[in-house]
Amino acid sequence: MSCSFTLYKSSDFIRKTATGKIDLARSLQGVHDLAQAAGFHRESHVLIDVRETESTVTHIEQMKLAMEFGNYRHLFHNKIAILIPPTSERIEKANLMKRCMDAEGFEMKVFVDFEHVIEWFSEVVPLGETP
């Protein structure tokens, strides 16, 4: 048996979980909701959990969505993680969204695993390994 110790200095985060079908109108509403919450919780990262959704948002609509996020840029101070289903179609869409968000000045990453989100949000300090 081998063991490793790791110290996690966690950061607070706000989490928006969506289920079902998401289109542009619903996504825009989600941006407004998140912006309002992010404005109240300025030290928190943001997790958008859309694993239980189907997306009908097109590439052009994704750009509109990123621009809408950009309108609230002053309210988002920290990292934004988006958690998606592990399908090639959703990964491709999410990566395009990430590029749009990068262009708007956001620090955004795409994940398919909740555990990796927490790793990204936390300051992780390895403390060593024992045999």
Partner 1 sequence: MPIGIKVYQTKDFIRKTATGTIDRERSLAVVRELATTANYFKGHSILLDLRDTEVEADHADGLHVAAEFARQFKSFKNKIAVIIPDTVERMAKAEFMRTCMHLEGFQWEFFMAYEDAIDWLSDITEL
Site for partner 1, rule CB under 8 A: 1-18, 32-34, 36-37, 40-41, 44, 47, 114-115, 118, 122, 127, 130
Residues 6+ apart with CB under 8 A from 61: 24, 27
Residue (22 or 63) nearer to partner 1, CB? 22
Closest CB 49 distance from partner 1, rounded Å: 10
Closest CB 103 distance from partner 1, rounded Å: 25
Residue (5 or 99) nearer to partner 1, CB? 5
User: Torsion over CA of 108, 113, 18 and 25, rounded to 10 degrees?
Assistant: 40
Q: Are 81 and 46 in contact (CB under 8 A)?
A: yes
| Torsion sign (Cα): 62, 68, 73, 77 | negative
In 3D space, the residue among 36, 40, 45, 38 whose CA is nearest the CA of residue 12 turns out to be 45
User: How many degrees, rounded to 5, is the angle at CA 40 between CA 67 and CA 81?
Assistant: 50
Closest CB 61 distance from partner 1, rounded Å: 21
Closest CB 121 distance from partner 1, rounded Å: 8
Residue (49 or 108) nearer to partner 1, CB? 49
Residue (63 or 122) nearer to partner 1, CB? 122
